[in-house]
Amino acid sequence: VQLQASGGGLVQPGGSLKLSCAASGGTFSSYNMGWFRQAPGKEREFVAGIGRGIGITYYADSVKGRFTISRDDAKNTVYVQMNSLKPEDTAVYYCAAASGGSYYYPGRKDFEYDYWGQGTLVTVSS
């Protein structure tokens, strides 16, 4: 499956952005989906995940209450709505798809994901 992330950009602290990740070449509904990010000089970290079927969601503690992940299987797209953005949210954001693992529960480690998008840069700065 190929993943194409979009929606990144420059936003002021406290602002909002919505990232999208469009999938092609696979059966989107059969994948658990996740968002990860990598800030300059730091390791890639889990942001949010959403499972197959009933759409169970997980969030990193750092984004809980501010970010919302969702999926539209009819559009083969996963989203992350990011509100109350902080400078520390600045990073390249990657979407990922997992073909295995728990059926309903999305993984929170990058090795649990098989396919990765190219990343989209989010910069939070005044």
Q: pLDDT tens digit string along 36-88?
A: 999 999 999 999 999 998 899 999 999 999 999 999 999 999 999 999 999 99
Amino acid at 97: A
Strand-strand pairing, 17-24 and 77-82:
antiparallel
Closest CA to 73 of 22, 4, 3: 22
**What is the pLDDT, as a whole number, of residue 85?**
98
Q: 103 CB contacts (<8 Å, ≥6 apart)?
A: 51, 52, 53
Cα distances from 106 to residues 47, 59, 73, 90, in angstroms, run 12, 10, 16, 24
Strand partners, 81: 18, 68
The pair of structure tokens assigned to 20 is 């999208």
Q: Give yes or no for a contact between 76 and 28, defined as CB atoms under 8 angstroms apart.
A: yes
Confidence of residue 1 (pLDDT cuts 50, 70, 90): very high
